Structure 1
Amino acid sequence: MTDILIAHASDLHLTLDTLRIRARDLLNKRALSYLSWQRRRLIHRTDMLRRVMADITAHKVDMLAVTGDLTNLGLPDECAQAARWLSELPMPVTVVPGNHDALVSSDWHQSIGRWAPWMGPLPFPFVRRVGPVALIGINSAHPTPCFQASGDIGAHQAARLADALEETGRQGLCRVVMIHHPPLARLTPRRKSLRDADRFAACIARHGAELVLHGHTHVSTIATLPAPDGPVPVVGVASASARSPDPARAASWNLVHISPAANGGYRTEITRRIMLPDGRATATPPIIFTPAASSPVHSGISTPR
């Protein structure tokens, strides 16, 4: 087996500054998000995202996994801008949508559907192969009322997820699940949570996985979910465009190194790469998960309690 390197980034929030926002675009929930952007534009910076992408490119990864929120308002022009951005990247990319990408009901082909070249066969969850790795993409992002940013996977998608995990597991693949909302209730307030996190957790507990990647919280975290062959790491990452002096919130990406384990299965090594606002780049010590391990070998990423 060839080792596989995956870069995990999330919550890019590509700038609105180059787009024309019309008044009619804001006659819905987008108005609140647009007002919020006037504050967040000072945090989500194009220069920080460029540094993240330059660092990812330098590591020559086999795949970039983006767990949602490429946009701010989910406008068709934003989705088109994000598609152009994706098309110019020098590495393969897999994308799942975030809540900002599905802020209000929109025509699929004019919005998130523009990113179909960077997804697998739909409907969700899709499966994309990278050597012995199966990227399984979940859609947890659906329009919600004002002041809500929650998500869900639903019963039908959960049933298909169970089938995908079972089939890729039978094939002996390393199963990496991508989802925008964190699938543990304690990681975010209720109004921003995955409403059916218990359904997701039950699916993992029954069918297993090797890794879950998520975004949404804008904080780098690591936790676990129980599964038949041992705990499954659940890894979140800060926004890839955030300017912050706090290392847990500063623009970051996760380098995921997947290799064969000595006793069978897969060894997963996770290193967080952090872009500090003073121009320095730093990295956490790697966290290593092996099959049936009860805990990571080393914890260098902030772990929620």
Structure 2
Amino acid sequence: MTESTKTQAAKTSASRKIKVAAVGDLHVQEDAQTSYRDLFGEVSREADVLVLAGDLTNLGKPKEAAQLAEDLRACSIPVVGVLGNHDHESGAVDEISATLRQAGMHLLDGQAIELRDVGFVGVKGFVGGFGPRMLGSFGEPAIKAMVAESVGEAMRLENAMRQVRAKRTLVILHYAPILETVIGEPLEIYPFLGSSRLAETIDRFKVSAVVHGHAHRGSFEGRTPGGAQVYNVAMHIEKPGGRPYALLEI
């Protein structure tokens, strides 16, 4: 193969769109009869990569993760995602993470991975609120600790973004980076659904799309102030085509 042929092949590969199926908030329960095997089998036929946007388990129990890992056997495409707040509930994050990684899932927590010429970047994110009403680091130590956690997640996202060399990037979060995709939830809980600090970080980079979950009664799509497309892919959100997952071309 000549140099010009290699260059052309590289350009063709880089420009070829891939289909990403994205869904969050599966909330797998250890005693539930619900199986996601059929869904994962369908996704494998429809998409090139499956993205899971957190709250994979309901109570953060290792047995719930083991059940999800078993269902993932039906998925024949790469799986990449992040954990959510429910996955932290029982203090078994390390065991849950190990189980899902052993099942072949690329579980991201401040890292980036390249699949099919697309960079996938993932962090859980955290609370804090949006825009001018975002919580500031003032007052009691507990408030300052909460803000520090929110800032820390944004910094982890930035560090992961700097690892990406691909020309296309999909950001995976659990918490929302913008207000638009949580609209529909009770106003009183908006500050606990995400943080604009995540969007501020995203807008410092060229991003193809952002997906998140967490806001079960939110809205499907919106944009960061810098124009990055954001999708709320929580299982409960109505999506184009009526599927429980969003099908995105990146």
1:117-266 to 2 correspondences below 5 Å: 117-119=104-106, 124-140=109-125, 154-168=150-164, 171-185=165-179, 187=182, 188-189=185-186, 191=189, 193=191, 197-219=195-217, 221-227=220-226, 231-239=227-235, 247=238, 252-258=244-250
Q: 1:17 to 1:128 in 2, by over 3 A?
A: same
Compared with structure 1, are the counterparts of its residues 16 and 108 closer, same or farther at alpha carbon in structure 2 (3 Å cutoff)? closer
> One-letter code of the match for 1:204?
I
Report 1:96-107 matches (<5 A). Answer: 96-104=82-90, 106-107=91-92
State the 1:58 CA deviation.
2.5
Does 2:60 match 1:62?
A: no
Shift of 1:53: 3.0
Q: Distance in 2 between matches of 1:175 and 1:255?
A: 16
Structure 1 or 2: more helix by fraction: 2
Q: By how many angstroms is 1:82 displaced?
A: 1.9
> Which amino acid is the alignment partner of residue 175 of structure 2?
H
Question: How many pairs were matched up?
Answer: 210
Amino acid at match of 2:231: V
1:212 maps to a residue whose letter is: V
Q: 5+ residue gaps in structure 1?
A: 19-44, 143-149, 259-305
- Does the 8 A contact of 1:238 with 1:248 survive in 2? no
> Cα deviation per residue 1:111-145 (whole Å; 9 max; x = unaligned)?
3342234235x6x2111111221010112369xxx
Is the contact made by 1:151 and 1:194 (CA closer than 8 Å) also made in structure 2? Answer: no
Cα shift at 1:153: 6.0
Note closer, same or farther for the CA distance 1:80–1:165 as it changes in structure 2 (3 Å cut): same
Matched, 1:91 2:85: no
* TM-score, normalised relative to structure 1: 0.59
The 8 Å contact of residues 153 and 200 in structure 1, kept in 2 or not, is answered as no
Instruction: Evaluate the alpha carbon distance shift between residue 58 and residue 87 of structure 1 in structure 2; reply closer, same or farther with a 3 A threshold.
Output: closer
Q: Which whole-Å CA distance do the structure 2 matches of 1:181 and 1:151 have between them?
A: 14
Structure holding more strand per residue: 1
Give the counterpart of 2:40 among 38, 44, 53.
53
Residue type of the alignment partner of 1:158: A
Tell me how far apart the structure 2 counterparts of residues 152 and 255 of structure 1 sit (CA, whole Å).
Answer: 34
Residue in structure 2 matched with residue 287 of structure 1 by the alignment? none
1:79 alignment partner, one of 65, 71, 77: 65
C-alpha displacement of 1:90? 1.8
Q: 1:177 corresponds to which letter in structure 2?
A: V
TM-score (norm 2): 0.70
Q: What letter is aligned with 1:198?
A: S
1:154-201 per-position Cα deviation (integer Å, ceiling 9, x unaligned): 333422322332442xx3421110011121245144546557612112
